[in-house]
């Protein structure tokens, strides 16, 4: 047993200074750093929740018949007809209903819905919820947009489309 021990000791009698191989370690750390930087994101993560199916946005060049509502800084225009005066996108207090919807817009939407229902019944067409396209200025506050959507919903408009500009 002693012989074996001595044999191993004699085999490597030289005393050598061990040097640390820093180059390969630096390469590994560089690769890890690049990987972590590439996979790190500060933006909003795009994930779909488990129990929720998000709606898809669609674009089409096809034009369908629907009521067009434009929301500007000073006016709400329905089918190229000024309907409601606004002041810096806000509904005037004299025109606001108790729920915040514009009284003048409500009247025009009811009138349009009645006209569409009458036309559908005389032509024997299937009745469906009237359609509405909303074209709002990009600076329109959510409160104003909400008031217009609420007015349309209260009247019976069930299909809304929001017009946007393609950024491509």
Summarize the confidence of residues 121-148 as an average pLDDT. Answer: 84
pLDDT score recorded for residue 130: 79
Phi, psi (rounded to 5 degrees) for 160: -110, 140
pLDDT at 59 over 70: yes
Summarize the confidence of residues 31-49 as an average pLDDT. Answer: 78
pLDDT score recorded for residue 152: 92
Residue 58 confidence class, pLDDT cut points 50, 70, 90:
confident
Entry pTM: 0.63
Please indicate whether residue 133 or residue 47 has the higher confidence score (pLDDT).
133
């Amino acid at each position: 047993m002693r012989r074996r021990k001595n044999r191993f000791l004699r085999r490597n009698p030289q005393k050598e200074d061990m040097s640390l191989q820093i180059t390969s370690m630096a390469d590994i750390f560089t690769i890890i750093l690049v990987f972590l930087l590439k996979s790190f994101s500060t933006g909003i993560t795009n994930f779909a929740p488990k129990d929720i199916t998000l709606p898809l946005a669609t674009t089409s060049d096809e034009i369908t018949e629907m009521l067009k509502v434009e929301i500007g800084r000073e006016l709400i225009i329905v089918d190229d007809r000024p309907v409601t005066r606004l002041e810096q996108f806000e509904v005037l207090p004299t025109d606001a209903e108790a729920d915040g919807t514009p009284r003048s817009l409500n009247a025009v939407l009811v009138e349009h819905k009645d006209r569409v229902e009458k036309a559908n019944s005389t032509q024997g067409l299937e009745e469906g919820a009237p359609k509405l396209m909303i074209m709002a200025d990009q600076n329109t506050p959510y409160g104003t947009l909400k008031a217009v959507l609420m007015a349309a919903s209260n009247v019976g408009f069930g299909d809304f489309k929001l017009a946007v500009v393609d950024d491509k």
